[in-house]
Structure 1
Amino acid sequence: MDDILDKHMSIYTLKNVLSLHVFADYFGSKQLHRITKGTTLTATLFQATGEAPGTSGYVNITKMKGKKVGFATEDNDGHFSANFVKSVQEIPYNISVIQISNIITSSAAEAPVAPPTDIDLIDLMSKKGCKEFAKLLQNSQISKSFTDLMENGLTVFCPIDKVVNSFLPKYKNLTKNGQTSLLLYHGIPDYHSLGMLRSKNGFINTMATTKGKNNKYDFSVQNDGDNVKLETNIVTAKITGTLLDEEPLAVYKIDKVLQPSELFKAQSINSEDTAPEPSSGDDEGDGETTANNNGAMIMSVNGGWLITFVLSIALVFV
């Protein structure tokens, strides 16, 4: 797996490589060792989605000497890069999870993939209730820091206009570095769907997090039923709506401005990013609105692409 990760592929290309590991037919351990005529071709998710050029989304499965079973893409020149290791889980003729020795890949799967139609993040937020936050990003000239991450994974939490307007006095009292850190604090350099956030409890780093420094700029994600709350040591914000949730970009509305403890705390603790302490007014009153190794795995399925794809990704990294 490290060989693939070292190539720093875009998320779209990586999805194509991973989709080669999801088969459209059932292959348990017994079926693999009883292949008719000793070899067969099977379609993968890469082929089924139409992303594969020609028949490059087929995988060749062949019985080899010593009771080994090899896996390779269709055009393999007789070279099988991966072998069957063991069965992990089988539900006969429904779902089979098997372990193989290496990743299956090809030049077709690794070919650069153009991202979907470009999304104007600033325009998206401006039109859907986060115009004031979008203005702050533009005026601070750090909007590029957000857009540069959109291809490989980005999650943005944008406070609604009402709370941003109420927060502006505190924002203006920060130094330029502090303002930049505050805005970056509202972005996570990874894609997190709402479902992923709902299943997560714990601290998460932000775009403002700097390695090797004491300023963590993280916050805690906490779930309360269907509600997702973002907790700093200063405020607790709630996700109140979804502007966009299409991998690799997710943008959510929140009902408060996230305030990191690195910027909003006693003056006695030095921070190069903080100006004199902002007004000690009620932090909860920012205009709140009431309202959420290298072993690889293959999943072969007879139906149910979504479940098998998720499982195959999880198992590839085991």
Structure 2
Amino acid sequence: MQQSIFSLTLLLLFFHCTNTLSQSPASAPVAAPAQAPSHHPSHRPHSSSPPPGPTDVIQILLKAGHFITFIRLIKATHVDFQLTSQLNSSTDGITVFAPTDTAFTNLKAGALDSLNDKEKLAFVQFHILPRFLSISDFQTLSNPVKTLAGSDDRYPVNISTTDSSVSISTGLTKTSIANTVYTDKQVAIYEIDKVLLPKLLFPPATAPAPAKSAETPEINPKDASSAMSSVLHYNGALVLGVVLAAAMLFL
């Protein structure tokens, strides 16, 4: 009996295995396609270009082409550094009166060579106002006008306007703006045809004594007295001679 049960068990197991093998294998689940990793834009701050520096006065004058002597003086006195500092530290701007090379050649020979370094610095600063002025702004100025050399009576600059011109006077120099070289609402550069000479650095020469007239020669009092005595002696001798001649006629 037990053997029959064992045989039946083996038979059932055989049929079970046969059915299992006859079935097709289950399809493997389809894997979802891999998604590409998303690339989020980086949040780097936008790198803007650096702010422009102050207006380069030297380059503007070089480009204009006829201010070489003035450029050399600006560099020699280091006023170019002062201008950069002025423009960086203040919103007032600057105004430059730039004499042409011809204006410098018209100066008396050796006029600038007589100045020491401190005086040359003041001379260059005398041509620069520490604020921006358009042509129309000159109409509202109060004289004397302040320059980088100072605002006291040692460096006076007086500016006047008419309908067609802007005149500049220092007491020694009188000129007018000939041309606008450059303007950008911060820097104004104006061409002038004469060098601005302050009286403190270039005192006027003593006026020469008037020439003596040839018709009125100077007479020494002693010479005049001697001449008068000679005339009296001559007249006395003449009178005496006339009297003697008359007496002899009556003898």
| TM-score normalised by the chain length of structure 2 | 0.55
**Between structures 1 and 2, the one with greater helix share:** 2
Q: Does 1 or 2 have the higher relative contact order (CA < 8 Å, sep 6+)?
A: 1
Mapping of residues 37-116 of structure 1, within 5 Å: 116=52
Q: Which of these two proteins has the greater Rg computed from alpha carbons?
A: 2
Q: Does 1:218 align with 2:156?
A: yes
Q: Distance in 1 between matches of 2:170 and 2:135?
A: 19
Mapping of residues 127-166 of structure 1, within 5 Å: 127-128=63-64, 129-151=66-88, 152=91, 153-166=93-106
Aligned CA distance change for structure 1 residues 201 and 224 (closer, same or farther; 3 Å): farther
Q: Distance in 2 between matches of 1:145 and 1:117?
A: 14
1:217-241: CA deviations, max 9, x gaps? 1300011321001111101121011
Gaps of 5+ in 1: 1-113, 269-279, 281-318
Mapping of residues 1-318 of structure 1, within 5 Å: 116=52, 118-128=54-64, 129-151=66-88, 152=91, 153-167=93-107, 169-200=110-141, 202-209=143-150, 216-265=154-203
Aligned CA distance change for structure 1 residues 200 and 169 (closer, same or farther; 3 Å): same
Deviation of 1:255 (Å):
1.0
**Between structures 1 and 2, the one with greater strand share:** 1
Aligned CA distance change for structure 1 residues 208 and 124 (closer, same or farther; 3 Å): same
Gaps of 5+ in 2: 1-49, 209-251
Deviation of 1:194 (Å):
1.2
| TM-score normalised by the chain length of structure 1 | 0.44
Q: Does the 8 Å contact 2:154/2:199 carry over to 1? A: no
Q: Distance in 2 between matches of 1:160 and 1:170?
A: 16
Q: Distance in 2 between matches of 1:115 and 1:236?
A: 40
Q: Distance in 2 between matches of 1:215 and 1:138?
A: 27
Aligned CA distance change for structure 1 residues 217 and 176 (closer, same or farther; 3 Å): same
Number of aligned residue pairs: 153
Q: Distance in 2 between matches of 1:197 and 1:125?
A: 22
1:106-133: CA deviations, max 9, x gaps? xxxxxxxx86554221111122132220
Tell me the C-alpha RMSD between the 2 structures: 2.5
